[in-house]
Amino acid sequence: GAGVSQSPSNKVTEKGKDVELRCDPISGHTALYWYRQSLGQGLEFLIYFQGNSAPDKSGLPSDRFSAERTGGSVSTLTIQRTQQEDSAVYLCASSLGGAGNYNEQFFGPGTRLTVL
Amino acid sequence: AQRVTQPEKLLSVFKGAPVELKCNYSYSGSPELFWYVQYSRQRLQLLLRHISRESIKGFTADLNKGETSFHLKKPFAQEEDSAMYYCALQGYSTLTFGKGTMLLVSP
């Protein structure tokens, strides 16, 4: 079946604009994760969903960042009033189980965000 | 707090040479460790996990709790091994990744 998909694949926006990034996890995966991949910073955890709830949002860098998940499936990461330092590749991953289950995380192709 | 350290940003070797990608971790509990790999223009994917104790594409990794290390090794590197490698530590909610090591294997 299809893997994790993300859209758009690339997004160029102007500083101060809001952006929405979408993630479609693998069907049946209850856990969903957002990460940010920046040059020299590796992968930074942003937020974790179990079903529609987000028990861990400790990685969100500021209140300009928010995310939601509906129907236990699709998730949207929203960045308000984008700044140049938000430029990065945003990765989504999903897994069968949640915390403590050590299930393999399957990653999407990422959305490359460029803030001019 | 949990932390993963990959001290080398870049490792360049010749084809056929042995490879060791270093990973050290800090974690108060019993660690669950992984190596993920990202080939050029491909998505990040799991390479191996320590509890499986398996060899994938000739790579192995042994957990050394005394040295808090989980180094990735391969006796004879191949050009197709060139990629970005990330060591990751499973926490309660999610994975903590190191900053990655770029492996370049030259012919």
**Nearest Cα residue in chain A from B5:** A42
Distance from the Cα of B52 to chain A's closest Cα (Å) equals 12
Please enumerate in sequence order all residues whose Cβ is within 8 A of that of B47, keeping only pairs 6 or more positions apart, or say none.
B34, B35, B36, B37, B56, B57, B59, B72, B85
In DSSP notation, B27-91 reads: -SS---EEEEEE-TTS--EEEEEGGG---BTTBEE--BTTTTB--EEESS--GGG-EEEEEEEE-
One-letter identity of residue B68: T
Residue A95 in tokens: 């897994």
**Residues B60-69 pLDDT 10s:** 998 998 999 9
CB contact under 8 A, B94 and A45: yes
- Backbone φ, ψ for residue A56 (5° rounding): -140, 105
Contact A6, A92 (CB under 8 A): yes
Residue A13: what pLDDT?
97
Does residue B97 belong to the interface with chain A, where contact is any CB pair within 8 Å? yes
Find the range with the poorest average confidence among A41-50, B13-22, B45-54. Answer: B45-54
Residue B52: what pLDDT?
77
Residue A90's Cβ-side half-sphere holds a number of Cα atoms within 13 Å equal to 32
One-letter identity of residue B25: Y
Residue A102: what pLDDT?
63
> Dmax over Cα atoms in chain B, in whole Å?
42
Does residue B27 belong to the interface with chain A, where contact is any CB pair within 8 Å? no
- In angstroms and rounded to an integer, the radius of gyration of the C-alpha atoms of chain A is 13
User: What would the 3-class secondary structure string for B76-90 be?
Assistant: CCCHHHCEEEEEEEE
Q: Which of A106, A97, A93 is nearest to A30 (CA)?
A: A97
pLDDT over 60 (residue A100): no
Taking contacts as CB-CB distances below 8 angstroms, the residues of chain B near A40 are 9, 99
Q: Rounded CA gap, A6 and B88, in Å?
A: 22
Q: Which of A75, A74, A43, A80 is nearest to A59 (CA)?
A: A43
Q: What is the mean pLDDT of chain B?
A: 92
For CA atoms B98, B93, A97, B28, the dihedral sign is: positive
Taking contacts as CB-CB distances below 8 angstroms, the residues of chain A near B43 are 3, 107-110
Residue A106: what pLDDT?
93
Does residue B95 belong to the interface with chain A, where contact is any CB pair within 8 Å? yes
Residue A101: what pLDDT?
55
Residue A99: what pLDDT?
56
